A = this chain, B = another copy of it.
Amino acid sequence: MSDLVEATGLNSASMYKEFGNKEGLFENALLDYQKTRLEPYIQILLDRPGMQGIEAFLNAAVSRAESGDYQGCLMLNTLAEEHSVSKAAIRRVENFCVKLKEALAGAIAGAQKEGTVPAGKDAAVLADFIICLMHGMVLYGRVDSHKPRIAAVVAAVKGALIA
């Protein structure tokens, strides 16, 4: 909170009046982050539910992670530090993951209708696989710069989809 007071120039009393407490403020920030930063990526999948949308989604996520000012994903960092955030914040992460998984599974199902993904595959399993890899990139990416790894991982995702 003292960091926020310093960084925002706001008064602590003002923030407590607006958000109730530290947890409320964080939950509010996390929701805003989801709506403004993350849901546009989901929208790509909803707008183009097929292989084209999936590729656009992956490319957008990758170029985001590769951009110079990328500081990490607030949503997944919240999950990583699960035990020091509120239950409501974790529920928000879960809610987001479900949303993403549904959008991805829908796009994969669309790709199956197009014929770009084999019909025999389970779209939900593939979606989980992709999300699992994205989580892995967040966590394993902390070990050292994951930038050289991203391309290989994306290639693996596409390979898993079409193989």
Residue positions of A touching B, CB distance < 8 A: 76, 79-84, 93-94, 97, 122, 125, 128-129, 131-140, 142-144, 149, 152-153, 156, 159-160, 163
> By DSSP majority rule, is chain A's interface helix, strand, loop, or mixed?
helix
Do A136 and B132 form a contact, CB below 8 Å, given A156-B160, A163-B159? yes
A93 and B144 alpha carbons, distance in the complex (Å): 11
Do A152 and B133 form a contact, CB below 8 Å, given A80-B80, A80-B139, A144-B94? no
Oligomeric state, in number of copies? 2
Interchain residue pairs A-B with the least CB separation, the first 10: A136-B136, A132-B136, A80-B80, A135-B139, A135-B140, A135-B136, A125-B152, A132-B140, A97-B143, A139-B139
When distances are taken between beta carbons in the complex, the residues of chain B under 8 Å from A125 are 149, 152
Is the pair A131, B142 in contact by a Cβ cutoff of 8 Å? no
A128 and B154 alpha carbons, distance in the complex (Å): 12
When distances are taken between beta carbons in the complex, the residues of chain B under 8 Å from A138 are 139
A133 partner, pick from B76, B79, B133, beta carbons under 8 A = B133
A135 and B150 alpha carbons, distance in the complex (Å): 14
Is the pair B132, A149 in contact by a Cβ cutoff of 8 Å? yes
| Min CB–CB distance A92 → chain B (angstroms) | 11
When distances are taken between beta carbons in the complex, the residues of chain B under 8 Å from A159 are 160, 163
Is the pair A149, B128 in contact by a Cβ cutoff of 8 Å? yes
When distances are taken between beta carbons in the complex, the residues of chain B under 8 Å from A142 are 79, 82
| Min CB–CB distance A15 → chain B (angstroms) | 22
Is the pair A152, B129 in contact by a Cβ cutoff of 8 Å? yes
Interchain residue pairs with CB less than 8 A apart (18): A76-B139, A79-B142, A80-B81, A81-B83, A84-B84, A94-B144, A97-B143, A125-B149, A129-B152, A132-B149, A134-B136, A135-B140, A136-B136, A136-B139, A139-B139, A156-B160, A159-B160, A159-B163
